[in-house]
């Protein structure tokens, strides 16, 4: 935590899954997370994190780094001190939404992670009940493969279309070589297998 507290930016590559615990540890320390895959935060934690991820984090596509199209250091140097300050303040403002407060404490004006999750579930159930009464489904033409997109829809939108992050979540077509998504998933799987061998 001391390292996170003394850093402006904290690199958060994928771990065994898209997200690593250190992504949240770094934000709790006030460090601006640098993500390399949208699945690390932007598509999974829509209840707790703002949709406009540029307010609190930096996104550098992992494929660009692998292909050496971008330097992490150079990209971070391009962010002005004023912007860094604003992003860090945003991260600090997010902290209550990321922690589970002691129930005995009085966070009367702040919502913790539990409050946020309960309110989101209540909103979802209310919306589902309304749709049931109106005789319609929540989404038109629901496609499981696109499930990550539904929480990114704007209020009132009922159908998903193309999204800039599609390449990160699409499966390679038959006969194609693996893309950065499948290769990074394979790397994570192999890393986990190696860890298990060393433990055994």
The string of pLDDT tens digits covering residues 76-127 is 999 999 999 999 999 999 998 898 887 777 666 778 889 889 998 998 888 8
Nearest CA-CA partner of 27 in 85, 91, 90: 91
Q: Are 84 and 8 in contact (CB under 8 A)?
A: yes
Which pTM does this prediction carry? 0.72
> CA 89, 95, 97: angle at the middle one, nearest 5?
125
* Per-residue tokens: 132: 């049931």
Report which of 187, 198, 196, 159 is spatially closest to residue 16, judged by C-alpha positions. Answer: 187
């Amino acid at each position: 935590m001391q390292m996170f507290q003394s850093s402006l930016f904290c690199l958060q590559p994928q771990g065994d899954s898209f997200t690593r615990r250190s992504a949240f540890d770094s934000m709790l320390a006030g460090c601006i997370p640098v993500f390399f895959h949208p699945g690390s935060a932007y598509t999974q934690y829509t209840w707790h994190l703002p949709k406009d991820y540029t307010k609190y984090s930096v996104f550098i596509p992992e494929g660009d780094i692998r292909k050496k199209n971008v330097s992490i250091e150079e990209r971070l140097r391009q962010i002005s001190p004023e912007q860094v300050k604003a992003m860090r303040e945003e991260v600090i403002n997010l902290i209550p939404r990321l922690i589970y407060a002691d129930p005995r404490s009085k966070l009367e004006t702040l919502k913790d992670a539990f409050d946020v999750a309960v309110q989101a579930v209540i909103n979802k159930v209310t919306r589902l009940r309304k749709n049931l009464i109106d005789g319609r489904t929540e989404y038109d033409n629901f496609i499981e493969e696109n499930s990550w997109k539904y929480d990114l829809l704007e209020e009132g939108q009922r159908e998903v279309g193309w999204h800039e992050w599609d390449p990160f979540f699409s499966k390679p077509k038959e006969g194609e070589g693996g893309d950065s998504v499948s290769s990074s998933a394979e790397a994570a799987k192999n890393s986990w297998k190696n860890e298990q061998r060393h433990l055994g």
